[in-house]
Amino acid sequence: MKAIILAGGLGSRLYPATWGLSKQLLPVYDKPMIFYPLSVVMLSGIRDILLISQEEYLPQYQRMLGDGRRFGVTISYAKQDHPRGIADALLVGRGFIGNHGVCLTLGDNIFYGQGLTAYLRKAAEPSSHATLFSYRVPNPSDFGVVCFSSDGRPLQIDEKPARPKSHFAITGLYFYPNDVVDLAKGLRPSSRGELEITDINRCYLSQNRLQVERLGRGIAWLDTGRPQSLLAASQFIETIEERQGIKIACLEEIAFNNGWISIDELSAVASAFKSSDYGNYLQDLCSAQTTDAFSSITYMSD
C-alpha cells in the first residue's frame, strides 16, 4: 500500500496565521503539524508517500522532509493548483498510486492512543474493502456522520447533516483498494464545487465493501482547523509528553522501531538537533539502546 498526505487548502479559518504559509507547517506544540499525519502513515507500515500541497509551499516541505531518507521512507511531492476537495487528491496522485491500494490522510488530523498501531496495520492489509475510522464527537453537524446498525455495520453516511442521526464522525483517514481511482474519476463536483470524499465512501457502502472502525476511549482524534482547536491540540501534546516523558509523532523513533533506520542514523539526527529537547530525546533513545531499558519504551510511538 502507498500513502497520500493532503496538505492543501487555504487554511482560511486560521487567517492571518496562515496568510502566506501552509497550515500544515504550523507548530503543534514542539513539532510541525505535518509530522503527525506522517507518523500515522509510518505506524501503518507504509514507506512510499506522496505529499500534495500548493506549488508555492512545496519547496518548504521539501526543505523540511527531503526525500524521506532520514525517516526510512520515500517521500515525493505533487502540486494541487486549487483546493478541489479531498477526493481530488486521488486524481492528483493517480500516477503515484499505480496498481496499489492507498491510504489517504489529511495533513491537519492528529491521532494518538494505546492500540492505534494495531488499528492502522490491520487497515493497511490488502483488501477489496475500504476502511474508515469514526470517532464520537459532541458536534457531529460539523463532520461527515456515519450511522451504524445494531451489529455495528455502517448503514448511512451524511455530510455535515443539520440533524445528525449519530454522534460518530468520519475522521480524515481513509484506506482504499486500488479501484478508488476509478471511482474518483467518475465523481462530479458537489454544490460546493468540490469532489467529495463522502461520495466515494457512499459508493463503497452501496457495494457492501465499507468497513468503519469505531475508535474507542483510549484513542484521541484532534482536528486543528481552527485557532481554538490548534491551541487545544498543542496543550494535549504538551500534557502527554511532559507527564509521560515521551514524544508523540517522533518520526525518527518510529523509523528506528520499525527497523527502517540504524542506530547510527538515529544518532546522527540527534546530533544535528542537539540544542533542542527533540534532539535530547533522540540522544536518550540512542543511549537506552545499550541497555534493557530501551525495550520498555518501544510503545511510545503508538
Contact residues for 249 (Cβ-Cβ < 8 A; gap 6+): 31, 35, 36, 38, 39, 110
CATH topology of domain 2-128+172-241: Spore Coat Polysaccharide Biosynthesis Protein SpsA; Chain A (3.90.550)
Question: What pLDDT is attached to residue 258?
Answer: 96
Q: Is the pLDDT of residue 296 over 50?
A: no
Average pLDDT, the chain: 92
Contact residues for 254 (Cβ-Cβ < 8 A; gap 6+): 39, 42, 43, 71, 301
| Grid cell at residue 22 | 501552509
- Of residues 301 and 4, more confidence is placed in 4
Dump pLDDT digits (tens) for 123-138: 999 999 999 999 999 9
Question: What pLDDT is attached to residue 8?
Answer: 85
Dump pLDDT digits (tens) for 172-185: 999 999 999 999 99
User: Whole-angstrom Cα distance, residue 71 to residue 65?
Assistant: 9
* Domain boundaries defined on the chain: 2-128+172-241, 250-301
H helix and E strand count, the chain: 11, 13
Question: What pLDDT is attached to residue 299?
Answer: 45
CA distances from 45 to 97, 277, 291 (A): 16, 27, 26
Contact residues for 233 (Cβ-Cβ < 8 A; gap 6+): 28, 29, 110, 222, 224
